[in-house]
Chains A and B, each alone.
Chain A
Amino acid sequence: NAGVTQTPKFQVLKTGQSMTLQCAQDMNHEYMSWYRQDPGMGLRLIHYSVGAGITDQGEVPNGYNVSRSTTEDFPLRLLSAAPSQTSVYFCASSYSIYRGYAGELFFGEGSRLTVL
């Protein structure tokens, strides 16, 4: 049972480069989301999706794009990397609360990104 899979686990970018962090889940979860974790700031929500074709912004969306073309995948795109985007990124998923589930959130192992 793979759960939530994130790739790559580590990445180093130069300022201005673009890249995509991949996230896939095999639990048929409706909800998927991206958080970043920074020392002293905790985890903050970047973008989220309540189902295929539907995405919305979280607390810190600037500089990131997402799309949700399938239930399984929710990639996070950095358009033009900046040193302020150096962070650990976590993808998470859950069943829809509106289907009667409690909403337990499952996290991936994280992707550690350094922007030079």
Chain B
Amino acid sequence: KQEVTQIPAALSVPEGENLVLNCSFTDSAIYNLQWFRQDPGKGLTSLLLIQSSQREQTSGRLNASLDKSSGRSTLYIAASQPGDSATYLCAVDNNAGNMLTFGGGTRLMVKP
């Protein structure tokens, strides 16, 4: 059974720092990996999707990398801002059917 772990569970940084969020998974036979953002009391918003054949994806200040063989993904946030404060979740799809297995999330706080 696929297991997804995110470290750290919580992170507090001053504004302007570059930071890395980590995601690891036990079964490397994935179809894709997605990073989501969740604001308190809200739904999830997809940030980046990496196909299994890709190594990384970029969107603005966000860069996600994928190393299938080691079962790891990282989300890099450049020049963090208070508006980046949220919970970040990674999820993997093993079946090409969008039946995702989620990690527990990293709760990020960016202080002004």
Contact = CB atoms under 8 A, between A and B. Distances in A.
Interface residues of B, number: 24
B97 A31 contact: yes
A4 B42 CA distance: 13
- Of the four ranges (under 10, 10 to 19, 20 to 34, 35 or more), the interface on chain A belongs to 20 to 34
Main SS class of interface, B: strand
A75 interface: no
Describe A's contact surface by its main secondary structure.
strand
Nearest to B6: A42
Interface stretch (A62-70, A78-86, A99-107): A99-107
B44 interface: yes
Contacts of A103: 31-32, 34, 49, 93, 96, 98
Contacts of A50: 97
B46 interface: yes
B43 A108 contact: yes
Contacts of B98: 31, 33, 48, 92, 94, 97, 103, 105
B102 A43 contact: yes
Nearest to B46: A104
Contact of A105 (B41, B96, B100, B103): B100
B96 A97 contact: yes
Interface of A: 4, 31, 33, 35, 40, 42-45, 48, 50, 58, 90, 92, 94, 97-98, 102-110
